[in-house]
Amino acid sequence: MLKYQAPQQDMEFLLFDLFQVNREWAEAPAFADLDADLARAVLSEAGKLASAVMAPVNQEGDRVGCRWSDGVVEAPAAFKPAYRQLAEGGWLGLSGSPAHGGQGMPKLLGCLVEEMFWGANTGLYLYGTLSVGAAICIEAHGSDAQKRLYLPKLYSGEWSAAMDLTEPQAGTDLGLLRTRAAPADDGTYRISGSKIFITSGEHDLSQNIVHLVIARVEGAPKGTGGISLFIVPKFIPDENGLPGVRNGVASGAIEHKMGVGGSATNLMNYEDAVGYRVGEENAGLACMFTMMNHERLAVGLQGLGAGELAYQQAAEYAKERLQGRAPGGPQNPDAEADPLLVHPDVRRMLLTIRAYTEGGRAFAMLVGRSLDRAKHSGDPYSQALADLLTPIAKAYLSDRGFESAVLAQQVFGGHGYIKEWGMEQIVRDVRIAPIYEGANGVQALDLIGRKVLRDGGGALRRFVAEMAADEVPKEYGEPLRSAFDRLLGVTDWLVAKAPEDPNLPGAASTDYLELAGLTIYAWLWARMAAAAPDDAFGQAKRRTARFFFQKLLPKAEALTSSIRAGAGAVMDMPEQAF
C-alpha cells in the first residue's frame, strides 16, 4: 500500500531558516496573529490529515473509480469521509478572505499544505483544489453579493466548484469556443452549449457545484476578446442561500482516463442554464486567468507532491530490497545480498528525485511568497515576479514530478510495474500534470513570449540581479555566477534574434524554461546549503546540494547550445515528410 509521511522537518527548515518568515509575517498586518508555533501546528494537522485520512484511500479510489448513471456521478465511497474531514477542517479556506469565512493564511504556507494533500491523494484533492481556485476568482472579480453567497460555501467545502473552459474544438485556443450566453430580462443569462474534460463537474461529495463557465454573449466579438465569465450553479440558490431548483447543467458522461481514476472528469451540457455574469461582458478571459494562474501553481504542486510520494516509497524499498553486492565488496556479509541502496545508479536515481523535490519545494514557496507580497503590500514588482515564475512553476515542477515518479518506479524494477505496490499509479496520476491547465509547451511559450520578450527581459534581469546579490558557500559561487551569465546571455540573444525569426521563440521555449528552472534551483540549493544546520539533516541537505551542482546543473550547458542552434532544424522538415 502507498504510504505518505509529511516532510515536516524540511518544510519547517524552509519556513524558518531559508525564508525566515517570522520577520516577514511580523511586518505584514494581515499576518499579525501568525507565529512559528501556529505555522507548525498548521503543518502538523495538515500532515496528519494527509497521512492518516487521505493517503489510506488513495489506491482504493483509483481501483474503484467513479460511476456515471443518467447524469448522476458517484465518487469512490472511500473518498466521502475523507473529503468531509478535508472540508470540515477548513482546509479549503486556508488562504481565503477572513471577511467571508476564510482563514487568511499566507499562500507561502498554503503551498506546503497543498503539496501534502496532492502527495497523499491526487484524485481526492482534485475535488478541493478547484474550489480554492474558484473562490480566488470570485473574490477578485465577483460582485459583493456573489462574494457573500459563494465564498463561505466554497471555503467550508459545503459547495465545490469546477472550471468549465475546454470544448471539443477549443482547447488551448479558447477563442474558438461556441458556448452561448443569451441575456435574460432579469439580468441573468441563459447558457447553452457543451464542455469537455471538466474536473469535478459532477459528483456527490458536496451539496452544490459552482461552475465557472466561459461563454460568448450574442453579438460579442470573435476570438478571446469576446469571452465572458459566468457562475452557473448546479442548483440555483434560493432566497436563503440554500440549494434550490436544479439548473440546466448536467453531466453527459465521464471520461475513462489513464490516471486519477477517483476524480470525476465530465462532459458537461448546458441547456438554457441560468448564469450570473462575473465582471464585465467580454472581459471573462482575464477574470478566468485569475483562477487559471492559481490552478497552474496548484498543478505544479501536484507534480511536487507526486515526487515526494514516489521518493518515500523508492527510498524505503531501496533500503530493504536485497539485490547483488556493492562494487567495493559486501556491505551486508551476513545476508545473501546487499540492499539496492549500495548501487551507484540506484543512488543516482534517488538523489535526482530528492534534489528536484526539495529544490521544487523551495521554489514553490518562493512563488507563494511573491503572491503574498503582491496581495498584501501592493508591490508591483512582486506581482511581476509571480507572473514571471508561474509558468515555470507549473511546467518545471510537473515535468520534474513525472520524471521523479518514473525514476522511483525504476528503482522498484519489475515490482514497480505491478499494481499492488502503487508505483504505476503514481506515474499514471502525475502524467496529467504536464498536460492540463495549459500544456507545458504553452507554459514555455508564455514564459518566453509574454514574460521575457515582451519587456526585453527586464523582469528576469532584475530577478537574476537579486539572486546574484546573495552570499552563498564558496564552492557554489563560481558555478552559480556561470549559471546566471548563461541565462542572461541566452536571454539577450533571444531578445536580439527573435524579431528576425518568428519561429525562434517557439523552437527555443521548452529548453529556455528548463534552463530557467535549473538556474533558479541552483540558487535555491546554494542558499539551502548555506542555511542548513550542523546536524544530520543539514549534512544531508548539503550533500544533496553538491549532487545537484555536480550532476544536474551541467545540463544547462546542453540546453544553452540547443537554444542557440536556432529554429532551422525544427522547421526545415517539409510537412509532407512527417
The string of pLDDT tens digits covering residues 505-521 is 999 999 999 999 999 99
Neighbours of 329 (CB within 10 A): 9
Return the CATH number at 540.
1.20.120
- The alpha carbon torsion through 403, 446, 108, 96 (nearest 10 deg) reads -120
Residue 577 neighbours by CB under 8 Å, 6+ apart: none
Q: Are 2 and 429 in contact (CB under 8 A)?
A: no
Average pLDDT over residues 440-465: 97
8 Å CB contact between 55 and 3? yes
Instruction: With cut-offs at 50, 70 and 90, classify the pLDDT of residue 133.
Output: very high
Contact criterion met (CB below 8 Å) for 80 and 119: no
| 138's grid cell | 470570485
95 lies in some domain: no
pLDDT value at 379 more than 90:
no
Query: Does residue 377 have a pLDDT over 90?
Result: no
Spatial CB neighbours of 568, under 8 Å, sequence gap ≥ 6: none
Q: Residues 236-272: pLDDT tens digits?
A: 999 999 999 999 999 999 999 999 999 999 999 999 9
CA distance 89 to 160: 15
Q: Determine the 3-state secondary structure of 436 from DSSP.
A: coil
Is the residue at 43 inside a domain?
no
Cα gap 297→295, rounded to integer Å: 5
Least confident stretch, 176-185, 290-299, 394-403: 290-299
In 3D space, the residue among 113, 112, 157 whose CA is nearest the CA of residue 132 turns out to be 157
CA-CA-CA-CA torsion sign (235, 236, 242, 244): negative
User: Residue 114 falls within a domain, yes or no?
Assistant: no
Structurally, the chain folds into a number of domains equal to 1
The grid coordinates of residue 261 equal 481514476
Tell which residue, 49, 187, 11, 177, has the closest CA to residue 125: 49
Cell for 226?
Answer: 469576446
**Backbone φ/ψ region at 233: left (φ over 0), alpha (ψ -120 to 50), beta:** beta
pLDDT confidence band for 462 (50 / 70 / 90): very high
In a domain, 104, yes or no: no
> What is the domain range of residue 492?
441-571
Q: Which residues of 78-105 are buried (b: 16+ CB within 10 A; e: fewer)?
A: bbeebbeebbeeebbbbbbbeebbbbbb
Residue 240 is assigned to a structural domain of this protein: no
If pLDDT is split at 50, 70 and 90, which confidence band does 54 have? very high
Half-sphere exposure of 268 (CA within 13 A, CB side): 36
Q: Write phi, then psi, for 190 (nearest 5 degrees).
A: -110, 115
pLDDT per position as a tens digit, 109-125? 999 999 999 999 999 99
Residue 528, all three cell numbers: 539551502
In this predicted structure, the answer to whether residue 199 has a pLDDT above a threshold of 90 is yes
- The tens digit of pLDDT for each residue in 533-543 reads 999 999 999 99
Among candidate residues 127, 86, 289, the one with its CA nearest the CA of residue 210 = 127
Catalytic residues: 437
34 falls within a domain: no
- pTM value? 0.97
Task: For 530-571, write each residue's pLDDT tens digit.
Answer: 999 999 999 999 999 999 999 999 999 999 999 999 999 999
Residues 291, 163 contacting (CB under 8 angstroms): yes
Contact (Cβ atoms closer than 8 angstroms) between residue 300 and residue 283: no
Beta carbons of 87 and 158 less than 8 angstroms apart: yes
Tell me, yes or no, whether 137 lies in a domain: no
> DSSP characters for 43-108?
HHHHHHIIIIIIGGGHHHHHHH--EEETTEEE--TTHHHHHHHHHHTTGGGTTS-GGGT-----HH
Residue 270 falls within a domain, yes or no?
no
CA dihedral 375, 378, 380, 386 (to 10 degrees): -10
Q: Per the structure block, which three cell numbers stand in for 47?
A: 500532515
Tell me what the pLDDT averaged over the chain comes to: 96
Rounded CA-CA distance 165/179 in Å is 10
Decide if pLDDT at 172 tops 90: no
174: confidence class by pLDDT, cuts 50, 70, 90: confident
pLDDT of residue 512: 98
C-alpha grid cell for residue 387? 507572473
pLDDT computed for residue 288 by the predictor: 86
- Asked if 134 and 212 count as a contact pair (C-beta separation under 8 A), the reply is yes
Q: Phi and psi dihedrals of 514, rounded to 5?
A: -65, -40
Q: Residues with Cβ < 8 Å from 185, sequence gap 6 or more? A: none
